Amino acid sequence: MSPAVTSDGAQASREGHASREEQVIDRITAIRKRRPRLIDEVVTLAHGAGGKSSAALVDAVFIEAFRNPELEQLGDGAVLTLPSGERLAFSTDSFVVSPLRFPGGSIGHLAVHGTVNDLAVSGAVPRWLSVAFVIEEGFAVGDLREIVADMAAAAGQAGVTLVTGDTKVVPKGAADGLYITTAGVGIIPADRELSMARVRPGDKVLLSGTLADHGMAVMLARGDLGLEADIRSDTAPVSGAVEALLAAAPGTRWMRDPTRGGLGTVCNELAGAVGVAVILDEEALPVTPLVQGACDLLGIDPVYVACEGKFAAVVPADEADDALAALRGHPLGRDACVIGEIRADPEGVVALRNAFGGTRIVDMLVGDPLPRIC
């Protein structure tokens, strides 16, 4: 055996090869900028997973039918301006988690926190919630009482009131126990302006705490994987931590809570909509060893797994230190980190770089490793 020989020819062919590869990459980038297409004939679980398929369904079915400027903001909540000039955030969410109780919380906590958090990351101070129950015939009233008590406690903690509601009962087998839908309204302070469009290259990306706790807690609570670990859901209202951050970093551009589809999906929505690159630092991503172990065992990337009490924020670089200090001073932000930055290139891409200089893409989630986690 002798080492392969080199020549100018080989060099040239290598370069030709490389440039063809770049053309292919550019073509794919162009294709990815097109609107997602819905090609499925039936709805699958992937359409509810928060990834690419969800985006295609929302775009092709719902936006198509309901099109209006408020909806097309596509935030976690719609921002509505009243004739008086005051602005409201309005958001809704359904909860179908299985099991109904899991370490760290229940569907009742989630139903309040989910909507409160969507309002909070829209920049609003959450105020009022509605709640609708779909209950399967035969559901124990005692269990319902406990879940409703969880909701009341969660609402009290988040400073919101449940002001209207609805109850429907369906025949046994037509639903799995209990589904809850909440909607909420919050008031946006006059001086507050948060939007994706304000994100600029050079901005820093902050995360308020550890990734993937909720998704893995629910996954393990189901018991069918046979994994035992004391992983608790992080379900919590983020409104207090959001206010702490905004007070310290008034220039904050935009926020989002990484629920279904996780941080990876949130960053992709930002990169795609604004046409910037989101560059994350792998070893800055906070993940507890337990959660990392569970993810490794199952071959799941924590970057796609839901949190229910965390948020990502994009802040100007010169406010990042203050923002981080403010978050860490809040009980729910003690594990907060600067996890990355916004760059101009490569446009529309989320990339993760590791400590030895390697880089990889973080794409939107395809398929659904963890159905019914919220």
Partner 1 sequence: MCLGIPGQVVEITDPDAYLAKVDVNGIKRSISVRLLADSGIDIGDWVLVHVGFAMAKIDEREATATLDAVRRMGKAYTDELDAFRSTAGGLANHAKGTVRSDKWPLNSQNPPLKGEKMKFADEFRDPAAARALVKSITELAGDGEYKFMEVCGGHTHTIYRHGLEHLLPPSIELVHGPGCPVCVIPMGRVDDAIWLAGRPDVIFTTFGDMMRVPGSDGSLLEARARGCDVRFVYSPLDALRIAVDNPAKQIVYFAVGFETTAPSTAVTLTRARQLGVSNFSVFCNHVTIVPPIKAILDSPDLRLSGFIGPGHVSTVVGNRPYRFVPEVYGKPIVVTGFEPLDILQSVYMLLAQLREGRCEVENQYSRVVRDEGNPAALALLAEVFELRAHFEWRGLGFISQSALKLSAAYAEFDAELLYSMPGLRVADPKACQCGEVLKGVIKPWECKVFGTACTPETPIGTCMVSPEGACAAYYNFGRLHRETAALVGQQRAAAHG
Q: Which of 84, 100, 184, 187 is nearest to 135 (CA)?
A: 100
DSSP-assigned letter for residue 135? E
DSSP-assigned letter for residue 63? I
325 in Cβ contact with 184 (< 8 Å) = no
Cα–Cα distance measured from residue 192 to residue 210, given in angstroms and rounded to the nearest whole number? 27
33 binds partner 1 (CB under 8 A): no
**DSSP, residue by residue, 252-312:** --EEE---TTHHHHHHHHHHHHHT-EEEEEGGGS---HHHHHHHHHHT--GGGS--SS--E
* Tokens linked to 43: 């709805």
Is 356 in a helix, a strand, or coil?
A: coil
> Considering all CA atoms of the chain, what is the largest pairwise distance in Å, rounded to the nearest integer?
82
Smallest gap from residue 195 Cβ to partner 1 (A) = 26
Cα–Cα distance measured from residue 198 to residue 7, given in angstroms and rounded to the nearest whole number? 51
| Residue matched to tokens 């319902």 | 144
Name which of residues 299 to 328 contact partner 1 (CB under 8 A).
Answer: 299, 328
From 6, 65, 67, 142, residue interacting with partner 1 (rule: CB under 8 A): 6
Smallest gap from residue 357 Cβ to partner 1 (A) = 4
From 8, 65, 141, 230, residue interacting with partner 1 (rule: CB under 8 A): 230
Smallest gap from residue 271 Cβ to partner 1 (A) = 13
* Tokens linked to 56: 């295609």
84 binds partner 1 (CB under 8 A): no
Total number of residues that touch partner 1 (CB under 8 A): 83
From 93, 150, 203, 234, residue interacting with partner 1 (rule: CB under 8 A): 234
Options 17-25, 106-114, 161-169, 198-206: segment touching partner 1 (CB under 8 A)? 17-25
At how many degrees (to 10) do helices 239-248 and 320-328 cross? Answer: 140
Options 34-42, 173-181, 187-195, 251-259: segment touching partner 1 (CB under 8 A)? 34-42
From 12, 21, 71, 174, residue interacting with partner 1 (rule: CB under 8 A): 21
Name which of residues 35 to 54 contact partner 1 (CB under 8 A).
Answer: 39-40, 42-46, 52-53
Is 116 in a helix, a strand, or coil?
A: helix
79 binds partner 1 (CB under 8 A): no
2 binds partner 1 (CB under 8 A): yes
| Residue matched to tokens 């559901």 | 139
271 binds partner 1 (CB under 8 A): no
258 binds partner 1 (CB under 8 A): no
From 12, 16, 28, 167, residue interacting with partner 1 (rule: CB under 8 A): 28
Name which of residues 323 to 362 contact partner 1 (CB under 8 A).
Answer: 328, 331, 334-335, 337, 343, 345-346, 349, 351, 353-361
20 binds partner 1 (CB under 8 A): yes
Number of Cβ atoms within 10 Å of the Cβ of 88: 19
| Residue matched to tokens 């090869």 | 17
Amino acid at 14: R
Q: How many residues does the chain have?
A: 374
237 binds partner 1 (CB under 8 A): no
4 binds partner 1 (CB under 8 A): yes
Name which of residues 161 to 220 contact partner 1 (CB under 8 A).
Answer: 209-210, 213
59 binds partner 1 (CB under 8 A): no
281 binds partner 1 (CB under 8 A): yes
Name which of residues 128 to 147 contact partner 1 (CB under 8 A).
Answer: none
Options 61-69, 179-187, 196-204, 294-302: segment touching partner 1 (CB under 8 A)? 294-302
* Tokens linked to 90: 């309005």
